[in-house]
Amino acid sequence: MDCIFCKIIEGELPSAKVYEDKRILAFLDINPVNKGHVLVIPKEHYNNFLELPPDLLKELIVVVQKLSQPIMEAVGADGFNLVLNNGQAAGQLVHHVHFHIIPRFNNDNLHPWPGKTYQENEKERIAASIKELI
Ligand code: 5GP
Ligand code: ZN
């Protein structure tokens, strides 16, 4: 399969690994938002978050939590963002599901997304629609 992350897992492409177990690999992002930016991926290829089997998702998120503190300490970060881009519209460029752990620093000037406002009754309609679809 022509997947960059599968090639990293197979050792066909180099990576700066920070963690590995039977089912999961974590390595430094080649183009970090901040230094210490880590990607956590399952070794088995799934295109996106929605395709992940729940048992593997649980293992992944536990690893994400385990790595977060050491990542912050290693680069002296004050916080971190946990990001998962799902689908092209959300900015997903590599279609092998991955969590980003992005170290954040006080005053690093990475501004969060702007907020929108709801019109009257829109909140209630959208909330009801989501509830119905679950
Ligand atoms: P996405 O936009 O799909 O959520 O994020 C993909 C991430 O993978 C990007 O942050 C990008 O810098 C990183 N990336 C792309 N190719 C490589 C690579 O070959 N090696 C590493 N370590 N990271 C990569
Ligand atoms: Zn892959």
pLDDT at 28 over 80: yes
User: Is the pTM for the entire model greater than 0.75?
Assistant: yes
pLDDT single digits (tens) 65-87? 999 999 999 999 999 999 999 99
Distance between Cα 105 and ligand 1 center (Å): 21
CA-CA distance, 68 to 66, in Å (whole number)?
6
Asked if 97 and 48 count as a contact pair (C-beta separation under 8 A), the reply is: yes
Token look-up 């295109």 returns 47
Residue nearest to atom 18 of ligand 1 (CA): 30
Q: Which active-site residues does the annotation give?
A: 98
Distance between Cα 94 and ligand 2 center (Å): 8
Going along the chain from its start, the domains and CATH numbers come out as: 4-133 (3.30.428.10)
The secondary structure element, H or E, covering residue 112 is: none
**Which ligand 1 atom sits closest to the C-alpha of 28?**
22
The two tokens of residue 67 are: 């790595």
Identify the nearest ligand to the CA of 6 by its number.
Answer: 2
